[in-house]
Amino acid sequence: MSAPASILLVDDDQHLADSMAQWLREMSHDVETAWTLGSAKAALKKQKFDLVITDLRLGDEDGFDLIGYTKQQHPETSVLVITGYATPDTAVQAVRAGAFDLLTKPLIDDELTLAIERAVEQRKIAHENETLRLQLDRRRGMENILSHDYRMLKVFDVIDSVADARASVLITGENGTGKSMIARAIHARSSRRNGPFVEVACGALPDTLLESELFGHVSGAFTGANHDKPGKFDMAHGGTLFLDEIATATPAMQVKLLRVLQEFKFEPLGGNETHSVDTRVILATNEDLTGAVTSGSFRQDLYYRINVVNIVLPPLRERPGDVTLLVDHFLTEAAESCSREIEGFDREAIAALQNYSWPGNVRQLENIVERAVLLGRGSLLTVDDLPPEVTGRTGDVAFASPATSPTSRINHVIGQLDGKTLREALEAPEREIILQSLRSHRWNRAATADALDINRTTLYKKMKRLGLDDPRLQYAN
């Protein structure tokens, strides 16, 4: 026996509809009947149904209209078609219109029961898949935005509130605070999540190229334009366009942006045809736009247009409680990427990380954690694995200040030994010296060996012993 389902039965033969409804009720289904297209639509508006069973001929009306209406207005409801005039083409047409299946009259009880079971089961699976997809979308949207700070928790609430709004969102904050991640989170949690997410760094392009990048161009618009090219607004149709560094836009570009944000219409560079797009726009800047408006470098009307919702990201130095949370996250990612077993940072290193001012914010923290994982020799990372700007040191033994007294320098060296052999204690400064020389010579080993006054074979051996032969170090900050 099939599981109980709520069914809307639609047939212009009232006697047949009542008879079938009675049989379905005996099978424990909840059944409503309708005899016209209008009454069927009214019933669908009144309550939700698991399944619509409809004839294709409803007097002078067409059952295909009901299939299309149900698919568009009530996509969670399956449609099962019954007809006495079926052809192979009719079946194909019904499925393309949105029907789950088509049965021909006279109906066989077992055939109808099986079709109902399949339709209800398909609806259940589709509902479960949609629930899982929404859960994954929520995780994907916020998984890398970690914070315990109350201001960031408010930001998360705003993201949920504005995700499906059409209004422009302006994200402000210092470099490295995660403006791009916030924009992606808004997109991922919106109904546009299946559409494209297109990002443009406005400050990276001159004005003429930026216009072509945003609005596209037609063939012959400028030298080298040999074919039509769609712009980012076109490419983001049905999705989200993220305009970073918006404060760098010139006055001429600001005028064009104002129009497209008001009307979502524009002409490509060199063309006369007007394009209309359905694009959500999110903007970001690390500059004070209020001051730019006051100074006249940024249009006031554009500022009011883009500043409908303003998300302000606090710098990392104002939320030190998030440092350890972010360190753990970046440490796990870096260790997995480098295939290393890392226990974490020791207390002294964590204290140094928490006390640092982080001018480069979260991005700088991520880079420093990755650097420590790449360069660290042990499974437990220490202050020796952090760069001098974080620890406040100018270096270890080799970089001791000349102003320090001989006794202090000796005590410093003894303190650094801490049970290590002399060779082990000197590894950290030796590694730092070689690393800095390699960087200054752009990883040219011959030039580095000459600068350090050692032969290349010795340099290669030291690099291997100190873990400096990993090619990924060339791309680490």
Kindly report the CATH number assigned to the domain that includes residue 277: 3.40.50.300
What mean pLDDT, rounded, does the chain reach?
83
pLDDT at 130 over 80: no
- Residue 265 shares a structural domain with residue 355: no
- Residue 183 shares a structural domain with residue 310: yes
Min mean pLDDT across 119-133, 150-164, 443-457 is at 119-133
Q: Are 264 and 277 in contact (CB under 8 A)?
A: yes
In a domain, 292, yes or no: yes
In a domain, 352, yes or no: yes
- Residue 338 shares a structural domain with residue 254: no
Q: Are 194 and 382 in contact (CB under 8 A)?
A: no
Q: Which neighbouring-strand residues pair with 104?
A: 83
In a domain, 413, yes or no: no
Q: How far is Cα 286 from Cα 246, in angstroms, rounded to an integer?
A: 9
Q: What confidence tier does 139 reach under pLDDT thresholds 50, 70, 90?
A: very low
Domain final position from 314, 336, 369:
314
More confident residue, 184 or 86: 184
pLDDT at 277 over 50: yes
More confident residue, 405 or 145: 145
Q: How far is CA 74 from the centre of its chain?
A: 29
- Residue 320 shares a structural domain with residue 308: no
In CATH, what number is assigned to the domain containing residue 376?
A: 1.10.8.60
pLDDT of residue 412: 52
In a domain, 145, yes or no: no
In a domain, 146, yes or no: no
- Residue 125 shares a structural domain with residue 203: no
pLDDT at 377 over 70: yes
Q: Are 360 and 176 in contact (CB under 8 A)?
A: yes
Min mean pLDDT across 17-26, 44-53, 396-405, 434-443 is at 396-405
More confident residue, 475 or 30: 30
* Model pLDDT for residues 80-108, shown as the tens digit of each residue: 888 877 666 777 787 788 888 888 877 77
Mean pLDDT of 312-320: 91
- Residue 269 shares a structural domain with residue 304: yes
pLDDT at 258 over 90: yes
pLDDT at 12 over 60: yes
The Cβ-side half-sphere exposure at 378, using a 13 Å CA radius, reads 13
- Residue 249 shares a structural domain with residue 172: yes
pLDDT of residue 472: 63
pTM: 0.56
- Express as a percent the part of the chain with pLDDT over 70: 86
Min mean pLDDT across 69-73, 264-268, 384-388 is at 69-73
- Collapsing DSSP to helix, strand or coil, 97 comes out as helix
pLDDT of residue 399: 41
pLDDT of residue 421: 67
pLDDT at 457 over 60: yes
Q: Which neighbouring-strand residues pair with 276?
A: 265
In a domain, 412, yes or no: no
Domain final position from 314, 344, 362:
314
Q: How far is Cα 102 from Cα 42, in angstroms, rounded to an integer?
A: 23
Residue 177: partners with Cβ closer than 8 Å, 6 or more residues away: 313, 314, 315, 316, 361, 362
In a domain, 165, yes or no: yes
Domain final position from 314, 331, 357:
314
Number of domains composing the chain: 4
- Collapsing DSSP to helix, strand or coil, 203 comes out as helix
Domain span holding position 228: 152-314
Min mean pLDDT across 199-213, 278-292, 318-332, 349-363 is at 199-213
- Residue 68 shares a structural domain with residue 115: yes
Q: What confidence tier does 400 reach under pLDDT thresholds 50, 70, 90?
A: very low
- Residue 362 shares a structural domain with residue 446: no
- Residue 302 shares a structural domain with residue 324: no
pLDDT of residue 239: 94
pLDDT of residue 165: 87
- Residue 52 shares a structural domain with residue 75: yes
Rounded to 5°, angle at Cα 239 from 234 and 240: 90
In a domain, 407, yes or no: no
